[in-house]
Structure 1
Amino acid sequence: MKIIIVTLKQHNIDNFYKLKKRYKTYNFYLITKKENLSLKNIEKINPDIIFFPHWSFYIPKEIYQKYKCIIFHLGNLPFGRGGSPLQNLIIRGIYKSKICALKASDVLDAGEIYLKHNISFKKSNAQKIYEKMSNIIFNKLIPKLLHTAIKPQKQKGEIMVFKRRTKEQSNLNTLKNPSLIKIYDFIRMLDAIDYPKAFLEFENITMIFQNAKKHNNQIKAEVIFYEK
């Protein structure tokens, strides 16, 4: 069986090689660049399944119409379709959800669902949560999808579509009715590699916040000062 995994994130790439070493009877291929995801390149491999862990880009229609494409999304779908799901959940005070394995489809995150797996994220920063998600995807969901014939089911329930967050929304001044727990959540939910971290601006200085820790009635965080 030929398997392609498409991802940009280093923690997923690391888990790819662990998976490849673990399941030597499968032929695994890795795509790590957006421009390499083309029908021409996919046809050269002619895979049985293509997995998309933490893939935030458009999947060409000609690929998912021809091949079995499974994406992974945080959210108890259909609640939580759309962009920045982790941040949109945490900012709403939601700390438990699901990781869904679902078919790629014409409508964003609306495909039939193969599997759901519980996940909680009341603590830790976004980077650690993404790594936790990756471990669940590569150690639980992908192996089960490889070894079990699962018929995907249509999504049922209330549809909630999240908007992808912008860099400007990482400004702490955008936080409504701030409290210690809200500030803690705000800093940690944005604290990941290649993600716009929480910040404040003062005249010609920008302050970036990371590594937030909550202890009793205090929050401690690292602050980096930049001149604009």
Structure 2
Amino acid sequence: MSYVIATSRPWNEIMAARLSERTGQPFHLITRKEDLTPERLREIAPRTVFFPHWSHLIPATIQEGWECVIFHMTDLPYGRGGSPLQNLIQRGHRETQLTALRCVAELDAGPVYLKRPLCLEGSASEIFLRAAGLIEDMIETIIREAPTPQPQQGEPMVFRRRKPEDSDLDQAPIQSLNDFFDFIRMLDADGYPRAFLDLHGHRMELSRVQLEQDRLVGTFVLYRQDAMPDQDSGGGGMIKRLLERCYPKPPRDVFQRMLSRYRPGDPLYTLEHQGNTVGMVYCARHSKGGHLENLAVDPAYRGKGLADQLVNALIKDNPGVITLTTRIPTYFIRLGFKPIQTLPDQSSLMIKTTPNTQQPTTNNQ
């Protein structure tokens, strides 16, 4: 009998291999929304699909066709809805129940297989890692003991899903040093918009906070708010989230490195679909043209020629010398770039020169 682990967070990706060792059963890992399809599940033929921290809606065809088990960080029916960890901490909770329940059409309303106590001390990343260990144990228990899920008991309490702008410390309901501490730590995890302050045209993001008697000690990153044209506020916006989807493995610093290079006026092109940024290309300008620093297309939108559109638009609008370094030179050769050197890390330095076809103007005054 086989099983599926569907997760969109990197800290859960090793779970499938460990559960295979612990149970002797095959586990298949799915990390991308586009791979969670009825066709793929029919091919695997799993008894159960487990969802430890899945960031996407589970289609009705999946819910109805397979036993789907999700995990929610509250003592259901208390705390249905979005952003459970942050809502719990802001309400003063220091511990909770991690609930395993069947996925149904109504949000977080399915019958419950089992619950386990979960401590809410530490940063969000520490809490998620702690929860991952509990989830692994809970999955093993469900497989070995096959508990019958029981209907939820009590009056539901629904949490509101947080938005990126809710991470603004200046607007947060804070009255004490402990409130500052809780607010910063509850947002300190990969993929979450960190606590921030906007000051004099700059944004400061705070993380890795520690409470030391009468002060907080931690890490901050400060960058210009106008440094990256992005139509979404909070946590770096949609470009940052696109790059996190495209580069999910540590150190996950592609956006910060991009910020450090960007100067107002540098060519930056994005593609949007249904309100989300699904592709981008960025070129750091220099006196002869520019260096193509970043090219990214959302994994769910690849194979549609979007990268070609982005690069071609960049070249057309920015004549001159465009250089880049890449580990996929054959792709850029197709777009007219020529390799000129193999670098010590085995990447290729490439170049494309486009003449300026704009006609000079004549002043007849």
Q: TM-score range by the shorter chain?
A: over 0.9
Partner of 1:154: 151
Q: How many residues align?
A: 225
1:128 aligns with 2:126: yes
**Does the CA-based 8 Å contact 2:3-2:28 persist in structure 1?**
yes
Give the TM-score, by structure 1 length: 0.96
Q: Which runs of 5+ in 2 are unaligned?
A: 226-365
**Does the CA-based 8 Å contact 2:16-2:28 persist in structure 1?**
no
1:78-89 map, 5 Å: 78-89=77-88
Partner of 1:70: 69
Larger Rg: 2
Q: Which amino acid aligns with 1:45?
A: I
**Alpha-carbon distance in 2 for matches of 1:201, 1:157:** 42
Partner of 1:189: 186
Partner of 2:336: none
**Alpha-carbon distance in 1 for matches of 2:222, 2:179:** 22
Partner of 2:135: 137
Q: Which amino acid aligns with 2:76?
A: L
Specify the SS of the correspondent of 1:54. Answer: coil
Q: Which amino acid aligns with 1:207?
A: M
1:221 aligns with 2:214: no
Question: Which 10-residue stretch deviates more, 112-121 or 8-17?
Answer: 8-17
Q: Shift of residue 149 of structure 1? A: 2.3
Partner of 1:39: 38
1:7 aligns with 2:7: yes
Aligned-residue sequence identity (percent) comes to 39
Partner of 1:211: 208
**Alpha-carbon distance in 2 for matches of 1:146, 1:21:** 13
**Alpha-carbon distance in 2 for matches of 1:73, 1:55:** 11
**Alpha-carbon distance in 1 for matches of 2:67, 2:221:** 45
**Alpha-carbon distance in 1 for matches of 2:19, 2:105:** 29
Q: Shift of residue 56 of structure 1? A: 2.4
**Alpha-carbon distance in 1 for matches of 2:157, 2:2:** 35
Specify the SS of the correspondent of 1:77. Answer: coil
Q: Deviations over 1:112-135 (max 9, x none)?
A: 0000000111x2100110010001
Question: Which 10-residue stretch deviates more, 198-207 or 213-222?
Answer: 213-222
The CA RMSD measured in Å over matched residues stands at 1.0
**Does the CA-based 8 Å contact 2:8-2:55 persist in structure 1?**
no
Partner of 1:170: 167
Partner of 1:108: 107
Specify the SS of the correspondent of 2:14. Answer: helix
Q: Deviations over 1:135-159 (max 9, x none)?
A: 1101x20110010021111001121
1:201 aligns with 2:198: yes
Give the TM-score, by structure 2 length: 0.60
Partner of 1:48: 47
